[in-house]
Structure formats: C-alpha cells, structure tokens
Amino acid sequence: MRYVRDNIACLEGYTPGFQPKEADFIKLNTNENPYPPSPLSIKAMKAACEESIRKYPPPLADDFRDAASTVLHVKPEEIICGFGSDDILTIAVRTFCDQGDPVAFTYPSYSLYEILAGIQGAQSLIVDFPEDFSLPEELKDTGAKLTLLANPNAPSGTLIKPSTIKTLAAGLAGILLVDEAYVDFASDNCLRLIRECDNLVITRTFSKAYSLAGLRFGFAIANPHLVNEMMKVKDSYNVSAPGMAGAKAAIEDQKWLKKNVDQIINTRKTLSAGLESLGFHCQPSETNFVLAEAPENTVAKELYQRLFENKILVRYFNMPRLDHCLRITVGTDKQIARLLAVLKEILNEEEM
Ligand SMILES: Cc1ncc(COP(=O)(O)O)c(C=O)c1O
C-alpha cells in the first residue's frame, strides 16, 4: 500500500550545502556570513529568552513589522514574517498555486523553487537564463500563476535592473515573487516597486548580510491585500519570540549591517580579481558569493575535490551549465587569501 502522495514519492527533496562536523574547514559553500551579527541582536535574543520564552510569541511578529516598516519606509501591513525566507516561499506557493497550476522560474537558479512546486503538485515551467544571465524574454509569456525570480540570482550572483523587473511584473497575469535574499550586497533593489505593482511580492532574509542564518528569520513585503491572504496560510506561530527580538534589533542596527556588507564587498573584489588572475572567469557578483568558471583544461569537480582535501569547502553543482563552475562564498580576507593560495598551488601542480 502506498501511504505517500505520488508527487512526494517521486520528489528528490532539496540537498542543502554540506555542513562539516569538523571545525577546521574553511567553509565557503553555503553563503553564510563570516562575521558575527550585531551584538544588539544577540542581547535582544538573550533578553527574549529570559523574559518571554514561557509564552507563545505574537503571531504576526508585530514588533518586528513595526521596526522593519520604519527602517524600510513601508507600512507594517505590507510585511509578513517567516521562519527564514524559505518559509515565505512555501507560504507563497501554497497561497497562489492550486494543484496543476503553472509556476515559472528561471534556470539555473535556487533549486528549492522546483521542489516547492512539486510538493504543491503545481506544474514547473523552467525558463533558461541566457548566457549573460539577463532576463529571459520568454518569462513574461508563461501564463504562470506564480513566477519566482531570485534577484540577485543564485548561483550566478548577477542582478537584473528593477526597471526591467517592473516591466516584467506589469506584463504578467499572475504574481511575481522577487527573492531578494542577497540584495543587501547589491547596488539596487525592487522595494520601491511594491506600490506600483500590485502583483509583486519581495522576500528578504536575515541569513546572509545580517549573519543570522541559524536564527531562521525572513520576511516578505507586498501589497496588504496579498499579505492578508498569505497570513491565512502561514503557521500560527511561524517565528519564535527570540527570533523576532533578534531580527528586530538586527534591522535597527543598520550601522552594523553597513560595516559588515562593506567588508564583504571589498573582499568580493579581491576574490574575483584573484580568481580571474588564476584563469577563472567570474560572473559579475552583486552577492556574497562568486560563480567562477574553471580555467580551460581543468575540471571543476576535481578542483572542488582538491580544495576539499585541503579543508576548504566550496560549492560544486553537478548540473547542466554549472558543472564547469565553482560557487565560492566570500569569507574573511584571511580565508580568501588561503583559498587563492591553495588554488594556485593546485593549478601549478596540474600544469606539470
Ligand atoms: C536565492 C535564495 N533564496 C532564499 C534562500 C533561503 O534563505 P533563508 O535562510 O532565509 O531561508 C537562499 C538560501 O541560500 C537562497 O539562496
């Protein structure tokens, strides 16, 4: 007897980046931030544990919504919070797609989109990015109920201009969800479009620029009408009291965020330049990682393996268009110097 729904039984499930048990790895594989979060955030989480852990948290995370609305110049009613932005993506797919409905997204991009569509029994419409990762023309013509677009994109790190996204939103019959997980490292964002596009949902996370991946806190900004509908779908208590307190303090500490982001952007330049000088070809990154095509006559999977043997973890995707690349998270200057030195040694050995 089959107990499981057919579309779950045939689903592979998401494969998260490897999390080694040993602490001696240089971990550049899951786009975590190498720097600590705001000390005010840690303090607020500790206080929330002491003061309010006995009680259920406020279901809508009101304190966070108020703080974020002030910082981002939006209304609290335009914000919905979640257990990481992955939770918001799940809520969106469940809110906007019936079984069999088309869900469109680009390739290569965040592989979770296809899995979420599969869980819902929706139909995935995959539109290939052109070589330069500009917006694929066909994305506007899919007729999808929901179009998911990571911007900046992962794993390419590339950014599509908000003006182009505005035109896309205006041309779509369904919802456009712009996943801005990496936007704090980028030169522009789509937030200003939410008042102009009533079919736009923007998702953000505390996992990357805010150094709080373990906290699991994300949120979306959209028209209050859409937010209200998504509220019906979310779990009642989908963020914890310490989570809400930590995220609130973190978003209020924009000075800390800026210092953190500036450091990453500086190191990103060193990383891209260093990789290019070793013969890699890098996509222009607006994120905290770089997608680097391995030098001619080398095999990306072997480079990944050799780095692994040297206790350096990067991300290798055994997938079309990515299998000749490495995706490397921007670490500290010291970590990136070590990565570049080891890569140089490996490439020199290969030449002999
Ligand atoms: C494009 C993209 N969106 C969303 C997420 C998920 O972020 P969160 O930790 O907020 O669930 C990731 C995580 O790596 C990502 O790469």
CATH number of the domain within which 199 lies:
3.40.640.10
The answer to whether position 177 is within a domain reads yes
pLDDT in tens, 300-341: 999 999 999 999 999 999 999 999 999 999 999 999 999 999
How high is the pLDDT of residue 18? 78
Does 31 sit in the ligand 1 pocket, CB within 6 Å? yes
Q: Last residue of a domain, which of 222, 252, 282?
A: 252
pLDDT in tens, 136-154: 999 999 999 999 999 999 9
The ligand 1 atom at the shortest distance from the C-alpha of residue 217 is 10
pLDDT in tens, 182-218: 999 999 999 999 999 999 999 999 999 999 999 999 9
Verify that 245 and 302 share a domain, yes or no: no
Distance 184 CA to ligand 1 centre (A): 13
Does 209 sit in the ligand 1 pocket, CB within 6 Å? no
What is the value of pTM for the model shown? 0.96
Whether 254 shows a pLDDT value over 90: the answer reads yes
Distance 278 CA to ligand 1 centre (A): 30
Verify that 104 and 172 share a domain, yes or no: yes
The answer to whether position 325 is within a domain reads yes
The answer to whether position 127 is within a domain reads yes
The answer to whether position 11 is within a domain reads no
Verify that 68 and 169 share a domain, yes or no: yes
The answer to whether position 247 is within a domain reads yes
CATH number of the domain within which 269 lies:
3.90.1150.10
- When divided into structural domains, the chain yields a total of 2
Verify that 159 and 68 share a domain, yes or no: yes
d(CA 49, CA 33): 24
**Structural domain boundaries enclosing 277:** 22-36+255-351
Verify that 26 and 57 share a domain, yes or no: no
Verify that 306 and 189 share a domain, yes or no: no
The answer to whether position 3 is within a domain reads no
Q: Last residue of a domain, which of 252, 280, 298?
A: 252
Verify that 30 and 134 share a domain, yes or no: no
The ligand 1 atom at the shortest distance from the C-alpha of residue 31 is 14
- For ligand 1, atom 7, the nearest C-alpha belongs to 85
The answer to whether position 329 is within a domain reads yes
Bigger pLDDT: 24 or 95? 95
| Mean pLDDT lowest among 4-13, 64-73, 228-237, 246-255 | 4-13
Verify that 65 and 200 share a domain, yes or no: yes
Bigger pLDDT: 15 or 208? 208
d(CA 249, CA 41): 5
Verify that 106 and 61 share a domain, yes or no: yes
Q: Last residue of a domain, which of 252, 270, 294?
A: 252
Q: Give the CA distances from residue 130 to residues 108, 138, 167, 179, 294, in Å, rounded to whole numbers and listed in that order.
A: 10, 11, 18, 19, 19
Verify that 113 and 212 share a domain, yes or no: yes
Verify that 188 and 310 share a domain, yes or no: no
Distance 40 CA to ligand 1 centre (A): 23
Distance 122 CA to ligand 1 centre (A): 21
The answer to whether position 133 is within a domain reads yes
Verify that 233 and 266 share a domain, yes or no: no
